[in-house]
Structure 1
Amino acid sequence: MPRIVRLFIVHTALGYVAAAVFVALLYWFDIVRLWSLVSASNIPVFATFLLWFFNGIVFSGAQIGIAIMGLAEAPDAPGGGKRAVTAAPAAVPAPARVSAPGARRARLAAG
């Protein structure tokens, strides 16, 4: 199996395990009375499955993202340092037509 496929499978599984722990903690501490709501429902298994599944998508996506970003190689040359100073571009005036003060007010009053 290619290394990248194994990486995806392992980190997806880790994300779903984290989602299971998260759902268990939500139920254990009865956050926003979620356990009370689900336990009183007529389909608690389905509700728990959906909560776990959709949280698993989020957690596994984040876990895969962290794993992929961790694969980056360190740069060969040391980074940082001082950059060369560049001169800022000179401001160039732009021509604009300006009417006399109060002319707009007179146009609005006449219109």
Structure 2
Amino acid sequence: MPELVRLYLRNILLGFCLAVGFTVLLVALDVAHLRHLTLETSGGWLALGMLVLFNAICFAGVQFAIAVMQMADPPRPPRGGNRAPAGRGAAIPVALAGTPRRR
């Protein structure tokens, strides 16, 4: 199996696990009375299944995007310039507020 397909399947599985955990937390903490909706109504299992499915799609996509972005080359430090530390050089006169100007 190609490496990219394995990477995709691994991230789908990780996203699904995160979605199940997130949904369990939502129901356990009774956010927006989801516990009542999913456990005490006749079609609650459908709402719970849809919640898991749509969260899994979202989390799997985010996991795969993070994995692909981490595959990029690390940024290289900038080259060129004299790399002189700030503060070493000629002083630049600055007019302060409230001081009279010389003419």
TM-score by length of structure 2 reads: 0.72
Distance 1:80 1:74 in 2: 12
Task: Give the equivalent residue in structure 1 for 2:78.
Answer: 80
Q: Percent identity?
A: 33
Task: Give the equivalent residue in structure 2 for 1:55.
Answer: 55
Distance 2:52 2:32 in 1: 17
Partner amino acid, structure 1, of 2:31: I
Distance 2:48 2:27 in 1: 10
Equivalenced residue count is: 81
Show structure 1 runs of 5+ residues with no match.
Answer: 84-111
Distance 2:29 2:62 in 1: 24
More divergent stretch after superposition (61-70 vs 44-53): 44-53
Larger-gyration structure (1/2): 1
Show structure 2 runs of 5+ residues with no match.
Answer: 82-103
| Structure 1 segments of 4+ aligned residues over 3 angstroms from their partners | none
Distance 2:43 2:80 in 1: 63
Task: Give the equivalent residue in structure 1 for 2:6.
Answer: 6
Q: Deviations over 1:44-101 (max 9, x none)?
A: 22111110000100000000000001111225xx423567xxxxxxxxxxxxxxxxxx
Task: Give the equivalent residue in structure 2 for 1:67.
Answer: 67
Task: Give the equivalent residue in structure 2 for 1:18.
Answer: 18
TM-score by length of structure 1 reads: 0.67
Superposed CA RMSD: 1.6
Partner amino acid, structure 2, of 1:74: P
Partner amino acid, structure 2, of 1:30: D
Partner amino acid, structure 1, of 2:25: L
